[in-house]
Amino acid sequence: MLSANISLANKTILVSGAAGFIGAALVQQLLRSIEPICIVGIDNLNDYYDPGIKQYRLRQISQCAASKPGSQWHFFQESISEAHALQQIFKRFKPSLVFNLAAQAGVRHSIKHPEAYIDSNIVGFFNVLEACRYNAVEHLLYASSSSVYGCNTKLPYATEDPVDHPVSLYAATKKSNELMAHAYAKLYAIPCTGLRFFTVYGPGGRPDMAYYSFTDKLLKGECISIFNYGNCQRDFTYIDDIVESLCRIAACAPKKSLGPDALPQAPYRLYNIGNNSPVMLLEFIKTLHEELIQASLLPPGHKLQDQQILLPMQPGDVPVTYADTQPLERDFGFKPSTTLKTGLHKFVQWYKEYYKL
């Protein structure tokens, strides 16, 4: 296992995408587990999905911060694509650690709105790298994605596998982030860790994700579209496991060292963050359906097949995602392990409470 070389206590930590699903969960966990700490959140609160959920997450963070008087929470409604605003925040707070979780998400959305992905995922990430370059950041952690594996057929996906054939612009921007981060790590000795997330789900999640939109439609009596005739497999990873991984990795920055040529080596790592247990989409929907009935959101005897439409694969989708998490286990003694039934149960209970059903 790796030894921690950074203490998060008494540090200023910047989290971009702080009102997003992963960002908000991370901020709350940092506030709960480390005191004192100063967290600076940035989010543009765009309307890609319901901004009301982002405001809800910010209220949750504020409540958590209020219970920790020794710590600080600062939030700025800014976009990382605005270089001057980002530079001013870095100049004012001088963060020691940076979690770049801001990004335009969604594979299918990238087909219709490619400009949003270049603006946020390329220009925005470049701005973050530049800000880290001039502010002596101890560790930059940034969100990549399992989508970089494209149509690779070797399973499970390992970070050493070639990822040169993306099948969506979203995937291409995430691969670009990895290359950009490596270049900055090499040129400016910025310790960087990239995190390839696999299908994150759980309470307070994104309404555009399948489990959330399926719930919406089933409760409204609408049909759900199931692509690849339900034969897709996804490595569903529960939000708490994602956050635990982030917190462990944050304290272990890649070390700066010299290579055999006496030149600095890039202090750079990549990890898969997945459940290492892919589930067939039809099985996933069946489990969600059972939880909705158990929570009395659907009536006993509700027939799922009456609300299903089986369709062929969509452009940009891949048939399977499956994470090799051995490096995560080796370096940090941790492996995401929340079962799908447990995770969906907690999501359904949250959904019922959030929408007051």
Domains in the chain (CATH in brackets) are 12-203+237-276+321-337 (3.40.50.720)
| Average of per-residue pLDDT across 204-209 | 96
Q: Using CA atoms, how far apart are residues 51 and 56, in angstroms rounded to an integer?
A: 9
> pLDDT digit string (tens) for 22-64?
999 999 999 999 999 999 999 999 999 999 999 999 999 999 9
pLDDT digits (tens, 9 = 90+) for 304-351: 999 999 888 887 678 889 999 999 999 999 999 999 999 999 999 999
Dist CA 210 CA 227 (whole Å): 11
CA–CA distance, 75 with 82 (Å, rounded to integer): 16
**pLDDT value at residue 229:** 81
Active site residues: 170
Residue for token digits 């800000």? Answer: 131
* Section 70-87 average pLDDT: 98
pLDDT over threshold 80, residue 261: no
In the chain, what percentage of residues exceed pLDDT 70?
A: 100
CB 262 within 8 A of CB 346: no
Q: Grade residue 245 by pLDDT with cuts at 50, 70 and 90.
A: very high
Predicted TM-score (pTM) of the model is: 0.96
Reported as half-sphere exposure (CB side, CA atoms, 13 A), residue 133 has a value of: 15
Looking at residue 29, the DSSP 8-state letter turns out to be H
Q: Residues near 33 by Cβ (< 8 Å), separated by ≥ 6?
A: 247
User: Collapsing DSSP states into helix, strand and coil, what is residue 12?
Assistant: strand
Query: Would you say 328 and 252 are in contact if contact means Cβ atoms under 8 Å apart?
Result: no
Identify the pLDDT of residue 75: 98
Question: Bigger pLDDT: 222 or 320?
Answer: 222
Query: How many residues are present in the chain?
Result: 357
Decide if pLDDT at 131 tops 80.
Answer: yes
